[in-house]
Structure 1
Amino acid sequence: MNLKTIRIGQLSVPLVTPFKTALRSVEAVEDIVVMIESDNGLVGFGEAPPTAVITGDTHDAILGAIRLLGSQLLGRPLENFNSLLKIVRHNLVHNTSGKAALEIALYDLFAQYLGMPLYQFLGGGPNVLKTDLTISVDRIDKMVADSRKAVAAGFDALKIKVGKNLDEDLERLQAIHAAVGDGVKLSLDANQGWTVKETLYAVGRIERAGIPLDFIEQPVKAHDLDGLRLITERSSIPILADEAVFSARDAIEILERHAADLINIKLMKTGGLSTALQIAGLAELYHTECMMGCMLESGISVTAAAHLAAARSDVITRIDLDGPALCSKNPLTGGIVMNGPKIVLPDAPGLGIAAVKNFQELAELK
């Protein structure tokens, strides 16, 4: 069975509320979608969001990567799956988002070929997961209202975006904690917005306020591993590395230096599932737990991430796959089903996605 055509398109879905972090503000999911069709009619779906401020990938960069690598995949047999993954991983440096879209589609296609849901192909696991919900940085009253709304919808874990102004960040946390109480698990994501001193000061303030936090995510710049390690050594609150970990090599350095307590795996950073699986394996060796996260993505790539998280639920103990919950509508037929924090994996082969609505075709490779 050979790879016959690759269709590339764009998907646009408005968000329920603007997504604001220390790094950016976004009002809609504007993702590139790839569909790889085999000569027997099977179709694998993939997706990549442009997140230039984190991955360096723009729309044009993602399109260019898919065109370049896709042309090298066409005509090759799907049965030589590992060789296809090797082309994606090694025939172009960087460009992790475009690579992720292609890898997701290839994994989807191969699992369909085997007649298995992707998470079963990856080793099996639970078919139901539970995600947190992100609270975007905003006015304190708006963040409190958003938090209360999330709790009313059944979410019992909230990830609060901060990192713009330390004192205001701590006021945001205190107000949200007062509104939702100790029964809701809270974490902070500073998106590299604090310094080492500010982070340690924040940890002290949070400790004195008696607010339990599950973790603080990537408080300092991604390249500042010395600073991240110092914070990890001195903080009673677990520290999660996110932007600091793209590759398996990055993960080894973090784990060897104990520069963080936890690692956030995102397919758009790792370039797809193969490296994500490597990172999960390394974390297991170092007895370190991981979180499965996402960028601003629709259900295509989030479905892939959920399948992987289910298959490696032994080491991926935290789920931050709320991208589809932030969207104003679901553009997919099939894929995961989200009900509040509950994510149900489909039983259909591959990702279980049948179609993408509002798909605007941009190119076709043959």
Structure 2
Amino acid sequence: MKIREIKIGKVSIPLKKPFKTALRQVNSAEDIIIKIISDTDEIGYGNAPPTAVITGDSQDSVIAAIRDTIGPKLIGMEIDNMEAIMATLDTAMLHNHSAKAAVDMAVYDLFGKLHNIPLYKLFGGYCNKLTTDLTISVNAPDEMVRDSLEAVQAGFTDLKLKVGTDVAMDIERVKAIRQALGQDVKLRLDANQGWKPKEAVRIIRRFEDMGLNIELIEQPVRAHDFAGLKYVTDHVDTDIMADESAFGPYEVFQLLAMRACDLINIKLMKAGGLHNAVKIANLAETVGVQCMMGCMLESKVGITAAASLAAGRQIITRSDLDAAVLLAADPVAGGVNFAKNELWIAEAPGLGITDIEGWQEIK
């Protein structure tokens, strides 16, 4: 099976509610979805949601990178020669991680179809079911309380609260939500780089002193501030997770060597795809650091790819794969199945995706 053609398209999917973080507000998912077509007419699907404030990738840059640089280098390559394909993908151009991730997952999809194996089994087959948290956007405390109660009533037992816009307000937000929910619901906080190191230590210690029972704090400081992240990790009891800091394998190696965090958040759009995400999982497993499988605002194509890796590997102990739940519609036929806070991995070959409703090709 050889790569014959790469088609680039897009889908626009409204969100149920605006998605608000310390970095951005999004009202709809504007996703690039590609189709890699083989000489046997099999189709591999890949997905990239442009997230300029985190990855630096825009919709136009993803399209141009695949169409003009990455794609032409892959035409004619054997799907079975994954090592050569991934080496070509990595070296085709610097950065452009989201574009690379879309191509990577489409290639893996074809590889699974070629060998008639679901990707979660290719990655280790540890389980076929995951529990995901649900993200609560940063808003006024009463609105976040209402959204949190709705999430729990819908069956979610783990919530990720977006904070990082205002320290005093963040305390009020978290306090109000914990009081409303009681102690049984797990709360994770994501500051999206919103605090300074000493400020982060003060607020996290305040959470601890108030008995708010926070499971973990995600990316409290700026992405490049590895020393600041280590400072926070060393001066609080709550587990600290690296997200934007943990971009690819090299950055994760540095973080682990410094002991700068307690947990790693793996995202395909940061890593550049599944093959680099596997490297991150291997590094973390070597030193006994657990991982979360996270996402941007992928459609179910990207979520299925991420869930396949998470289900395959034991070191990935947590999932933040709620993007498809946040969308008001699901144009993707096949792939992972959702039941409340659970994701069931498809047993079909590859990603198990068969069609994308409303997919518009970009010439």
Once residues 360 and 140 of structure 2 are traced to their aligned partners in structure 1, the CA distance between those partners, rounded to angstroms, is 35
Matches within 5 A, 1:198-209: 198-209=199-210
Q: Residue in 1 aligned with 2:164?
A: 163
How much does 1:5 deviate? 1.3
Once residues 226 and 123 of structure 1 are traced to their aligned partners in structure 2, the CA distance between those partners, rounded to angstroms, is 34
Q: Residue in 2 aligned with 1:333?
A: 333
Q: Residue in 2 aligned with 1:89?
A: 90
What letter matches 1:122 in structure 2? F
Residue by residue, what CA displacement relative to the aligned partner does 1:120-141 show, whole Å, maximum 9, x if unpaired? 1122121111100000001211
Q: Residue in 2 aligned with 1:213?
A: 214
How much does 1:77 deviate? 1.8
Once residues 298 and 339 of structure 1 are traced to their aligned partners in structure 2, the CA distance between those partners, rounded to angstroms, is 17
Matches within 5 A, 1:303-322: 303-312=304-313, 314-322=314-322
Residue by residue, what CA displacement relative to the aligned partner does 1:125-161 show, whole Å, maximum 9, x if unpaired? 2111110000000121111111000000110000000
Q: Which runs of 5+ in 2 are unaligned?
A: none
Q: Residue in 2 aligned with 1:131?
A: 132
Residue by residue, what CA displacement relative to the aligned partner does 1:163-188 show, whole Å, maximum 9, x if unpaired? 10000011000011011111000011
Once residues 8 and 330 of structure 1 are traced to their aligned partners in structure 2, the CA distance between those partners, rounded to angstroms, is 19
Once the two structures are aligned, what percentage of the paired residues are identical?
48
SS of the aligned residue for 1:223 comes to: coil
Matches within 5 A, 1:111-122: 111-122=112-123
- Contact conserved, 2:123 with 2:309, CA < 8 A, in 1? yes
Residue by residue, what CA displacement relative to the aligned partner does 1:18-77 show, whole Å, maximum 9, x if unpaired? 000000000000011100010111100000011000000001110111111111111222
Q: Residue in 2 aligned with 1:271?
A: 272
Once residues 16 and 189 of structure 1 are traced to their aligned partners in structure 2, the CA distance between those partners, rounded to angstroms, is 20
Matches within 5 A, 1:146-157: 146-157=147-158
Relative to structure 2, which stretch is displaced further, 166-175 or 79-88? 79-88
Once residues 252 and 41 of structure 2 are traced to their aligned partners in structure 1, the CA distance between those partners, rounded to angstroms, is 38
Once residues 59 and 93 of structure 1 are traced to their aligned partners in structure 2, the CA distance between those partners, rounded to angstroms, is 17
Q: Residue in 2 aligned with 1:99?
A: 100
Matches within 5 A, 1:1-366: 1-67=1-67, 68-312=69-313, 314-363=314-363
Once residues 298 and 2 of structure 1 are traced to their aligned partners in structure 2, the CA distance between those partners, rounded to angstroms, is 26
SS of the aligned residue for 1:46 comes to: strand
Once residues 340 and 143 of structure 2 are traced to their aligned partners in structure 1, the CA distance between those partners, rounded to angstroms, is 20
Once residues 258 and 2 of structure 1 are traced to their aligned partners in structure 2, the CA distance between those partners, rounded to angstroms, is 43
TM-score, structure 2 as length reference = 0.99
- Aligned alpha-carbon RMSD (Å): 0.7
Once residues 79 and 22 of structure 2 are traced to their aligned partners in structure 1, the CA distance between those partners, rounded to angstroms, is 42
- Contact conserved, 2:149 with 2:181, CA < 8 A, in 1? yes
Residue by residue, what CA displacement relative to the aligned partner does 1:169-218 show, whole Å, maximum 9, x if unpaired? 11000011011111000011000000112111111211121111110000
Once residues 77 and 38 of structure 2 are traced to their aligned partners in structure 1, the CA distance between those partners, rounded to angstroms, is 10
How much does 1:79 deviate? 2.0
What letter matches 2:52 in structure 1? A
Residue by residue, what CA displacement relative to the aligned partner does 1:247-290 show, whole Å, maximum 9, x if unpaired? 21111110011100000000000000011000100001111000
Runs of 4+ more than 2 Å apart: none
SS of the aligned residue for 1:108 comes to: helix
SS of the aligned residue for 1:243 comes to: coil
Once residues 63 and 262 of structure 2 are traced to their aligned partners in structure 1, the CA distance between those partners, rounded to angstroms, is 35
- Number of corresponding residues: 362
Once residues 64 and 236 of structure 2 are traced to their aligned partners in structure 1, the CA distance between those partners, rounded to angstroms, is 42
What letter matches 2:262 in structure 1? D
SS of the aligned residue for 2:13 comes to: strand
SS of the aligned residue for 2:349 comes to: coil
Once residues 160 and 24 of structure 1 are traced to their aligned partners in structure 2, the CA distance between those partners, rounded to angstroms, is 15
SS of the aligned residue for 2:362 comes to: strand
How much does 1:78 deviate? 1.5
